[in-house]
Amino acid sequence: MFSFSDQNDFCGRRCVWVNGPVIVGAGPSGLAVSACLKEQGIPFVVIERSDCIASLWQKRTYDRLKLHLPKKFCQLPKLAFPEEYPEYPTKKQFIAYLENYAQKFDIKPQFNECVQSAKYDEACHLWRVITVSTNGSTQSETEYICQMLVVASGENAEGVVPEIDGLKDFSGEVIHAKDYKSGEKYTGKKVLVVGCGNSGMELSLDLSNHNAKPSMVVRSSVHVLPREIMGKSTFDLAMMLMKWLPLWLVDKILLVLTWFILGDTQKYGIQRPSLGPLTLKNHHGKTPVLDIGALERIRSGDINVVGGIKRFNHTSVELVNGETLDIDSVLLATGYCSNVPYWLQETEFFAKNGFPKTPFPNGWKGKCGLYASGFTRRGLAGASADAIKISQDIAKVWKKELNHKKQKVPTHRRCISTF
Ligand SMILES: Cc1cc2nc3c(=O)[nH]c(=O)nc-3n(C[C@H](O)[C@H](O)[C@H](O)COP(=O)(O)OP(=O)(O)OC[C@H]3O[C@@H](n4cnc5c(N)ncnc54)[C@H](O)[C@@H]3O)c2cc1C
Ligand SMILES: NC(=O)c1ccc[n+]([C@@H]2O[C@H](COP(=O)([O-])OP(=O)(O)OC[C@H]3O[C@@H](n4cnc5c(N)ncnc54)[C@H](OP(=O)(O)O)[C@@H]3O)[C@@H](O)[C@H]2O)c1
């Protein structure tokens, strides 16, 4: 299917020529691009640093996680969720759907191979992608050479661990949200949850469900919206309203409805940003929190909301308002970042933050066969839209080249026959 010429170069590195694109990452974005290419008969290679598909979902998320948008917004191209799935599938169901997706489209990533660098070689007009694969204690390098590169390594590739004064001296456990599974082992413990995005809110709720004592740090402001309004998903409602009304008006409507349902969140120490939820998401990429019960626990006092952190001590934390809290553990729900700047040697299309410089909806295609899938800050719906555009574009280039080659073949044959 794809022509693989396997050779070792003088450094002992395996060299592989790939017909078609190399796709970095076998998460939902990489799988979606792969499925769309497969349908058009275009060969590709998917490289995945982990030992499974969708490693974010399989290895770096907590047990109680569910999709927080209705399933119709989360399915990948060409395969709907099973009908019996609930409106908000669980993490387990989503992973099962993705496993089935990879099987249906016969997607077989190169597992345990991490892309270390990718660079466009101007001299030969090709991408050179270097990976390191780990097999037990042995490591080996491979260089893939290809005409097209699809970056699908994710907006959430690495956990962000902020530098906070004294954190290194804190004697209790400190983990990032990506390593949290359940509140079971925290029963009776005083846990500081740093961050109040969807992760911070849900980890606090989970801790409270397990009779731990969570304090959640809210250092600035955040929009908390109900997940549903009058039985309809808030996201769905917003999408519908946006078809007819300007963004600022949809924001106003959402905030009024939210006020009726959740009341005034400022009363509980959660300030609202001055920009509306959709405007803030569009301009600054900050995701609103879709509440699934944490606010009720904040109201009841089971989750304690605190302000910003000044510094950590051996067994406590000092807050900017001068208060000191004794704590047993710290959970850093401080967000995620892209890892593209660490391995992609390109600065025209990708910015320093690892996202395409061109804003949505045009940030999927760079120059020289470079593509970005899943960097729209629009979750799974954004990943699907990217995959369709990218695969169509690649198909156009692919078919053009194929025709070009076909036109050349008869000439070649003519030459041979004259001998
Ligand atoms: C806790 C959490 C919950 C979420 N819930 C939702 C939700 O409900 N709905 C929604 O729409 N979105 C949600 N998201 C957003 C989420 O990012 C997307 O759902 C989805 O996972 C994006 O898919 P992706 O393939 O772009 O990225 P990822 O899922 O992150 O996949 C990228 C893959 O690339 C691999 N990779 C990274 N770097 C390299 C490298 N250098 N070499 C080789 N492989 C590499 C990774 O191992 C990973 O498998 C959530 C995110 C988080 C963190
Ligand atoms: N399906 C689901 O239910 C679900 C669950 C979890 C996450 N997600 C998704 O996953 C993505 C990431 O969400 P996330 O909540 O992990 O990250 P996030 O939205 O980026 O939130 C990070 C939080 O950490 C805070 N923070 C960062 N550094 C801090 C510091 N030094 N001190 C105090 N606070 C600090 C931020 O505060 P500031 O705002 O002040 O910077 C913010 O509140 C989002 O797209 C989200 O929707 C979905």
Whether the CB of 195 sits within 6 Å of ligand 1: no
Whether the CB of 276 sits within 6 Å of ligand 2: no
Whether the CB of 369 sits within 6 Å of ligand 2: no
Q: How many Å lie between the centroid of ligand 2 and the Cα of residue 179?
A: 15
Number of H helices, E strands in the chain: 10, 23
Compute the distance between CA of residue 259 and CA of residue 356 in angstroms, rounded to an integer. 35
pLDDT at residue number 403: 84
The pTM assigned to this predicted structure is 0.95
Whether the CB of 153 sits within 6 Å of ligand 1: yes
CATH of domain 14-157+338-418: 3.50.50.60
What's the residue count for the chain?
Answer: 419
SS3 83: coil
Q: For the stretch 143-179, what's the b/e string if a residue is b when 16 or more beta carbons lie within 10 angstroms of its beta carbon?
A: bbbbbbbbbbbbbbbbbeeeebeebeebebebebbbe
- In the chain, list all ranges with CATH 3.50.50.60: 14-157+338-418, 159-332
CATH fold for the domain made of 159-332: FAD/NAD(P)-binding domain (3.50.50)
Whether the CB of 287 sits within 6 Å of ligand 2: yes
Whether the CB of 68 sits within 6 Å of ligand 2: yes
Whether the CB of 165 sits within 6 Å of ligand 2: no
Whether the CB of 157 sits within 6 Å of ligand 1: yes
Whether the CB of 335 sits within 6 Å of ligand 2: yes
Which helix H or strand E contains 138, and what residues bound it?
strand 138-146
Atom 16 (ligand 1): residue with closest C-alpha? 379
CA distance to 45, 50, 90, per residue, from 97 (Å): 21, 19, 11
Whether the CB of 58 sits within 6 Å of ligand 1: no
Compute the distance between CA of residue 346 and CA of residue 326 in angstroms, rounded to an integer. 46
Ligand 2 atom nearest to 177, measured from its CA: 16
Whether the CB of 195 sits within 6 Å of ligand 2: yes
Decide: 24 and 151 in contact? Cβ < 8 Å: yes
Helical ranges in 273-313 per DSSP H:
277-284, 294-300
Q: How many Å lie between the centroid of ligand 2 and the Cα of residue 167?
A: 19
pLDDT at residue number 305: 98
Q: How many Å lie between the centroid of ligand 1 and the Cα of residue 28?
A: 7
Whether the CB of 114 sits within 6 Å of ligand 1: yes
pLDDT at residue number 107: 98
Atom 18 (ligand 2): residue with closest C-alpha? 335
Enter the tokens of residue 354: 């690892």
Q: Which residues of the chain have pLDDT under 50?
A: 1-5, 411-419
Residue 42's nearest CA partner among 365, 403, 395, 401 is 395
Decide: 294 and 184 in contact? Cβ < 8 Å: no
Q: How many Å lie between the centroid of ligand 1 and the Cα of residue 360?
A: 18
Atom 44 (ligand 2): residue with closest C-alpha? 287
Whether the CB of 291 sits within 6 Å of ligand 1: no
Q: For the stretch 255-264, what's the b/e string if a residue is b when 16 or more beta carbons lie within 10 angstroms of its beta carbon?
A: eebbeeebee
Write out the E strands in 160-245.
Answer: 173-176, 190-194, 213-217, 224-226, 228-229, 232-233
Q: How many Å lie between the centroid of ligand 1 and the Cα of residue 57?
A: 7
Q: How many Å lie between the centroid of ligand 2 and the Cα of residue 61?
A: 13
pLDDT at residue number 409: 59
Q: Which amino acid is at 24?
A: V
* Backbone angle region of 200, left / alpha / beta, with phi > 0 → left and psi within -120 to 50 → alpha: alpha
pLDDT at residue number 402: 82
Residue 39's nearest CA partner among 100, 104, 111 is 104
Q: How many Å lie between the centroid of ligand 1 and the Cα of residue 156?
A: 6
Compute the distance between CA of residue 131 and CA of residue 255 in angstroms, rounded to an integer. 47
Whether the CB of 67 sits within 6 Å of ligand 1: yes
Positive or negative: CA dihedral 307, 308, 310, 311: positive
Atom 21 (ligand 2): residue with closest C-alpha? 197
Residue 218's nearest CA partner among 201, 196, 191, 190 is 196
Ligand 2 atom nearest to 197, measured from its CA: 15
